[in-house]
Each structure stands twice: as structure tokens, then as C-alpha cells.
Amino acid sequence: MNSPEMQAFLKEREEQMAAAADQPRPDLATQRAGADSMARPAPEDVQVTSVDAGGVPGDWVVAPGADPGRRVLYLHGGGYVLLSALTHRRLAADISRESGCAVLVLDYRLAPEHPFPAAVDDALAAYRWILENGPDGASQATSTFIGGDSAGGGLTFATVINARDNNVPLPNAAFGISSWTDVSNTRPSRETRLGIDPLFTDPALLAAFQAQYMGEQDPKQPLASPLFGDLAGFPPVYLLVADHEVLLDDSLEFAERARAANVRATVSVEPGGIHFFPQMNPDLPESRAAILEIGAFLRGHG
């Protein structure tokens, strides 16, 4: 049963999406401006420091008491086209506070200006960098994690594949929130959840993101859609997903394939929730509970 706060939030989102349903899709600049309005600042007690992470800009977000040797590379969502490190500072701060880790939110290059594999290349470069650099400067990491939401969740698992295949030390664990692991958009939940997901009322939206990110390239290649990749040797993974979102199967099937590869995979399905709700509204009781789960997962793995 959703909390009263979640029920009110869902009603508000449904009304907003219904009002926009008959409007033409805005151009990319307008979409980005609207998406950037989701930016929420980090709390005043959280330190935010902009850095060059192996040639890629990003922000260290460090809550009081976080261990600078325990590091999370966080990859924001937005269909590989929208959003930024700025939009995700509050979420990163919440993760830092509950996990006790320093969190690097990466501003990887966006499509269509920088299509696949630009984001993949940037994420691996930044991951290599945090192995040897923390919020206090050059130092060896004591433990590392990779996580992200939506497209950033898919990019998280693509980065683990990329690191493994390039003989880069793997993270202690990885996590995804509402992960887009199938950029080919062939999972059944694209249709079964379309009528009840208030964020993806337009079935062409994910196809548009795919076209901008992939162009004519194969969307099923593992570094684009890690659902179709070899998951052997993966560290433990945690997947948070909402029951009402069109990306539901991206997490459920990824967990199944991970387990088939002898990977420890935990899935938490939020009943009645919607796509990346901890970012959409971090003050919901469900969002706070989800961040506590992620924090406990990270604390339990290094």
C-alpha cells in the first residue's frame, strides 16, 4: 500500500502528464531545460567538490562522516540525453549519508552530440580514476562501487562488463535504480506497464532516446544493453525497481540472468511506485526507505 505522500505524488504526476499528453514533444533544448528543473541541491552539511575525473567532469558529494576511501561512481539517468551531475546532487548526498561512502556523480557526455559509446568510455575512465583518487586527492581506494538510475543503471552494469573485459579491478558491488538494461526496448513490460506508468505515457519516448544514443548501431550489444551481456564474474548487484514502470522487466530479467551466471543479485520491487522515484521525490517515505536499503547494501560489501 502506497503511503499518503506517494499517493498524492502519483496523482500530481498523472495530472501533469495528462495535461502534456496533447502537446507536441518539445525540442531537445526545451526538454533539457525542463529536466534540469529537477535539480535539487545537496543539504548544507554535505561537501560538494567539482573535479576532473580522468578527463570527465564530475562532482564529489560527501556527507559528514563518510569514508573518503570508500567510493561510489554514480551515473545519472536521463535516457543518455538529459540530466546531469547537478540534477542528482541530493540523491548522491542521501546515498553518501546512508552508505558512508564518498560519491562521485559523473557528467558523462550526452547524446545526440556524443552517441554511444561516449558515455561508456567516460564511465570507465572515471572508474579507473576513483581507484586511485578520492575527494581528498590522490589515494588508493579501500573499496569501490558503481551505481546509477535509469540509463545510468544500464550504464552501471555496462561499466562493470567493460572493466572486467579490460582487466580493470572490479567494484565490490554495483546497484541500479530503475535500470534501463535493454536499450533495444524489447522487454514485455514496455507494453504491459505502458498504461499505468505516469512517466512514460508516450510509447515513442524510449525509442527516441534509443535513436539519439545508438543511431544505426546495434542496441543489443552488451555495452549498450547489458541485459544481453555475459555477466560471469560480476560482483554482487542490487536492483531497485517500481512495479508500475515500463522498465520493470529490465531489472527482473537482469537479476535472473545474473543469478544464472552465479552472481548474487538482490531485487527490491516497490509496489505501486514509479520510475526512479527516489530521484523524482527524495522526501517520500518510500524513497527514504529505498536509500536506506541501498546504504545497507553498500555497507555490507566493503
Helix or strand (DSSP H, E) at 196: none
Residue 28 lies in a domain: no
- How far is residue 288's CA from residue 273's CA, in Å, rounded to a whole number? 13
Q: Which residue has the cell 550526452?
A: 110
Pick the more confident residue, 272 or 95: 95
- How far is residue 222's CA from residue 233's CA, in Å, rounded to a whole number? 15
Q: Write the CB contacts of 60 (distance below 8 Å, at least 6 apart in sequence).
A: 47, 48, 49, 50, 51, 102, 103, 104, 134, 135
Structure confidence at residue 194 (pLDDT): 85
- How far is residue 149's CA from residue 75's CA, in Å, rounded to a whole number? 7
Pick the more confident residue, 150 or 35: 150
With 70 as the cut, is the pLDDT of residue 6 above it?
yes
Pick the more confident residue, 27 or 83: 83
Pick the more confident residue, 262 or 11: 262
Cβ 181 vs Cβ 225: under 8 Å: yes
Instruction: Work out the pLDDT band at 38, boundaries 50, 70, 90.
Output: confident
Tell me the helices (H) and strands (E) count for the chain, helix number first.
10, 10
Structure confidence at residue 98 (pLDDT): 98
Q: What is the mean pLDDT of residues 212-236?
A: 98
Measured CA to CA in angstroms, residue 193 lies from 90, 188, 197, 228 at distances of 28, 9, 6, 22
β-pair partners for 52: 57
C-alpha cell at 213: 544514443
As a whole-number percent, the residues of the chain with pLDDT over 70 amount to 99
Residue 191 lies in a domain: yes
As a whole-number percent, the residues of the chain with pLDDT over 90 amount to 80
- Of 45-54, 234-243, 274-283, where does mean pLDDT reach its minimum? 274-283
Cβ 124 vs Cβ 159: under 8 Å: yes
CATH number for position 204: 3.40.50.1820
Q: What is the mean pLDDT of residues 29-43?
A: 84
Cβ 245 vs Cβ 77: under 8 Å: no
Instruction: Work out the pLDDT band at 299, boundaries 50, 70, 90.
Output: very high
- Of 7-21, 131-145, 222-236, where does mean pLDDT reach its minimum? 7-21
Residue 129 lies in a domain: yes
- How far is residue 2's CA from residue 198's CA, in Å, rounded to a whole number? 15
Cβ 268 vs Cβ 239: under 8 Å: yes
- How far is residue 122's CA from residue 130's CA, in Å, rounded to a whole number? 12
Residue 111 lies in a domain: yes
Q: What is the mean pLDDT of residues 87-108?
A: 98
- How far is residue 227's CA from residue 225's CA, in Å, rounded to a whole number? 5
Residue 273 lies in a domain: yes
The residues annotated with a catalytic role in the active site are: 150, 245, 275
User: For the chain, how many structural domains are there in total?
Assistant: 1
With 80 as the cut, is the pLDDT of residue 278 above it?
yes
With 80 as the cut, is the pLDDT of residue 20 above it?
no
- Report the mean per-residue pLDDT for the chain: 94
C-alpha cell at 254: 537482469
Structure confidence at residue 21 (pLDDT): 66
Full domain range(s) for residue 248: 4-21+41-299
Residue 250 lies in a domain: yes
Q: What is the mean pLDDT of residues 142-162?
A: 98
Residue 36 lies in a domain: no
